[in-house]
Structure 1
Amino acid sequence: MTLHDLALAAARFSALIAGFVILAGFAQNSFHIWQLLVASRALRRQRGLPETSLVWRRYAEAAPPIALLVPAYNEELTIGESLRSLLALQYPSFEVVVVNDGSGDGTLQALIDTFELEPVQRSYEAIAPCAAIRGLYGSRRQPRLLVIDKENGGKADALNAAINLARAPIVCSMDADSLLEPDALLRAVRPFVEDPERVVAVGGTVRVANGCDIRFGRVSRVGVPRNFLALLQTIEYLRAFLMARLAWSEMGSLMIISGAFGLFRREAVRAVGGYTLGTVGEDMELVVKIHRHYRRERMPYRVVFVPEPVCWTEAPETLQILGRQRARWHRGALETFSKHFGMLFNPRYGRVGSVGFGYILLVDVLGPFVELAGYVLIPAFWLLGILNTEFLWAFLAVSFGFGVVISVGALALEETELRRFPDVKSLAVLMAAAVVENFGYRQINNVWRLWGAWQFLRKQESWGVMTRRGFSRAAA
Structure 2
Amino acid sequence: MLIDTFDSILGFTAWLLIGYMLFVIIVYGGMMVLSIKHIRKQYQLDEKEPYDELLKSSYTKPVSILVPAYNESAGIYGSIRSLVSIEYPEYEIIIINDGSTDDTIEKLIERFQLKKIHRVIRNQLHTKPVKALYQSVIYPNLYVMDKENGGKADALNAGINFSRYPYFCSLDGDSVIERNAFLKVMKPIIESDDDIIASGGSIRIANGCRIQNGEVTEIGLSSKPVVIMQVIEYLRAFLAGRIGLSSTNLLLIVSGAFGVFSKKWVIKAGGYSHTVGEDMELVVRLHRLIKEEKLDKKIVYVPDPVCWTEAPEELKYLRRQRKRWHRGLFESLWEHRKTIFNPRYKSIGLVSMPYYLLIEFFGPVIELLGYIIMIVAYFRGEIFIEVALLFFLLTVVYGSIFSAMAVLLEEWSMEKYPKVSHLMKLFLVALTESFWYRPMTVFWRIEGIMDVILKKKGWGEMARKGVSNE
Using the size of structure 1 for normalisation, the TM-score is 0.96
Task: Give the aligned partner of residue 459 of structure 1.
Answer: 455
Task: Give the aligned partner of residue 41 of structure 2.
Answer: 45
SS in 2 for 1:202: strand
Distance in 1 (alpha carbons) for counterparts of 2:297 and 2:451: 34
Distance in 1 (alpha carbons) for counterparts of 2:135 and 2:283: 31
Distance in 2 (alpha carbons) for counterparts of 1:284 and 1:294: 15
1:128 to 125, 132, 148: 125
Distance in 1 (alpha carbons) for counterparts of 2:120 and 2:155: 17
How far the C-alpha of 1:12 sits from its partner, in A, is 1.1
1:391 to 387, 396, 421: 387
Q: Kindly provide the CA deviation profile for residues 301-351 of structure 1, in whole angstroms up to 9, marking residues without a partner as x.
A: 000100111110011100000010111011000000000000001111111
Q: Does structure 1 retain, via aligned residues, the 8 Å contact 2:246–2:301?
A: yes
The reply to whether residue 470 of structure 1 matches residue 470 of structure 2 is: no
Which range is displaced more, 406-415 or 330-339?
Answer: 406-415
How far the C-alpha of 1:401 sits from its partner, in A, is 2.7
Q: Does structure 1 retain, via aligned residues, the 8 Å contact 2:178–2:215?
A: yes
1:271 to 268, 271, 281: 268
Which range is displaced more, 47-56 or 299-308?
Answer: 47-56
Distance in 2 (alpha carbons) for counterparts of 1:160 and 1:386: 60
Q: Kindly provide the CA deviation profile for residues 141-161 of structure 1, in whole angstroms up to 9, marking residues without a partner as x.
A: 111111011111110111000
Q: Aligned partner of 1:207: which letter?
A: R
Q: Please list every run of 5 or more consecutive structure 1 residues that lacks an aligned counterpart in the other structure.
A: none
Q: Kindly provide the CA deviation profile for residues 200-230 of structure 1, in whole angstroms up to 9, marking residues without a partner as x.
A: 0001000011111111111111112212111
1:7 to 3, 10, 23: 3
How far the C-alpha of 1:364 sits from its partner, in A, is 3.0
Task: Give the aligned partner of residue 336 of structure 1.
Answer: 332
Q: Does structure 1 retain, via aligned residues, the 8 Å contact 2:55–2:89?
A: no
Q: Aligned partner of 2:244: which letter?
A: A
Change (3 A) 1:387 1:322: farther
SS in 2 for 1:225: coil
Q: Aligned partner of 1:280: which letter?
A: V
Distance in 2 (alpha carbons) for counterparts of 1:86 and 1:51: 22
How far the C-alpha of 1:287 sits from its partner, in A, is 0.2
2:205 to 208, 218, 227: 208
Distance in 2 (alpha carbons) for counterparts of 1:101 and 1:367: 35
Distance in 1 (alpha carbons) for counterparts of 2:284 and 2:468: 36
Distance in 1 (alpha carbons) for counterparts of 2:193 and 2:79: 29
SS in 2 for 1:171: strand
Task: Work out the number of aligned pairs and report it.
Answer: 469
SS in 1 for 2:33: helix
The reply to whether residue 228 of structure 1 matches residue 221 of structure 2 is: no
The reply to whether residue 179 of structure 1 matches residue 169 of structure 2 is: no
Identity across the alignment (%):
39
Aligned structure 1 segments of 4 or more residues deviating by more than 6 angstroms = none
Distance in 2 (alpha carbons) for counterparts of 1:367 and 1:430: 24
Q: Aligned partner of 1:201: which letter?
A: A
Q: Please list every run of 5 or more consecutive structure 2 residues that lacks an aligned counterpart in the other structure.
A: none
What are the equivalent positions in structure 2 for 1:58-77 lying under 5 Å apart? 58=54, 60-61=56-57, 62-77=59-74
How far the C-alpha of 1:165 sits from its partner, in A, is 0.4
What are the equivalent positions in structure 2 for 1:55-454 lying under 5 Å apart? 55-58=51-54, 60-61=56-57, 62-277=59-274, 279-385=275-381, 388-454=384-450
Q: Aligned partner of 2:277: which letter?
A: G
Change (3 A) 1:179 1:336: same
Distance in 2 (alpha carbons) for counterparts of 1:90 and 1:58: 10
Distance in 1 (alpha carbons) for counterparts of 2:354 and 2:141: 43
Q: Aligned partner of 1:47: which letter?
A: Y
Q: Does structure 1 retain, via aligned residues, the 8 Å contact 2:343–2:350?
A: yes
Q: Does structure 2 retain, via aligned residues, the 8 Å contact 1:29–1:403?
A: no
How far the C-alpha of 1:442 sits from its partner, in A, is 0.4
Which range is displaced more, 295-304 or 19-28?
Answer: 19-28
How far the C-alpha of 1:191 sits from its partner, in A, is 0.9
How far the C-alpha of 1:49 sits from its partner, in A, is 4.8
Distance in 1 (alpha carbons) for counterparts of 2:267 and 2:454: 31
Change (3 A) 1:291 1:71: same
How far the C-alpha of 1:124 sits from its partner, in A, is 2.2
Distance in 2 (alpha carbons) for counterparts of 1:58 and 1:48: 20
Q: Does structure 1 retain, via aligned residues, the 8 Å contact 2:326–2:361?
A: no
Task: Give the aligned partner of residue 28 of structure 1.
Answer: 24
SS in 2 for 1:205: strand
Distance in 2 (alpha carbons) for counterparts of 1:473 and 1:353: 45
